[in-house]
Amino acid sequence: VLLAVKAAAVWLLFRERPFAIDPTVLSLDISVDPGSFPSAHTMLAFGIAASMLLAGYRQLGRWLIIVALLVAFGRVAAGVHFVSDVLAGAVFGIAVAWILHHESGTLKRYLPKE
């Protein structure tokens, strides 16, 4: 679901990566897709952390939020995302986790009983 959100956002709101726009931005010498918005790495990290928090794993969720913040910082520091890219990734990841968590009860009634 998160990757579908990422693909839709890239299609609707395409923006080049920072190092492609500004040659003074240092970047890693790697091959990446040209779409910058939103950060899929950040989206996945925050989605997993939010899922753990919503599932009741408070201690693990808190640690994963810290890891997700480090991922977001690293993406900006590496020059592959703007701050707005990682903020959007965090919001999308948390939103998808929240929607899936709250809709899981609705979906469970359609699943076969054990």
Q: Which residues contact 63 (CB under 8 A, 6 or more apart)?
A: none
Residue-wise pLDDT tens for the chain (114 aa)?
A: 676 777 777 667 767 766 666 666 555 555 566 666 788 889 999 999 999 999 888 999 999 999 999 999 998 887 788 898 899 999 999 999 998 887 776 666 666 666
- The count of other CB atoms within 10 Å of the CB of residue 104 is 12
d(CA 86, CA 10): 13
Q: Which residues contact 55 (CB under 8 A, 6 or more apart)?
A: 101
Polymer length in residues for the chain: 114
Q: What backbone phi and psi angles, to 5 degrees, belong to 14?
A: -60, 135
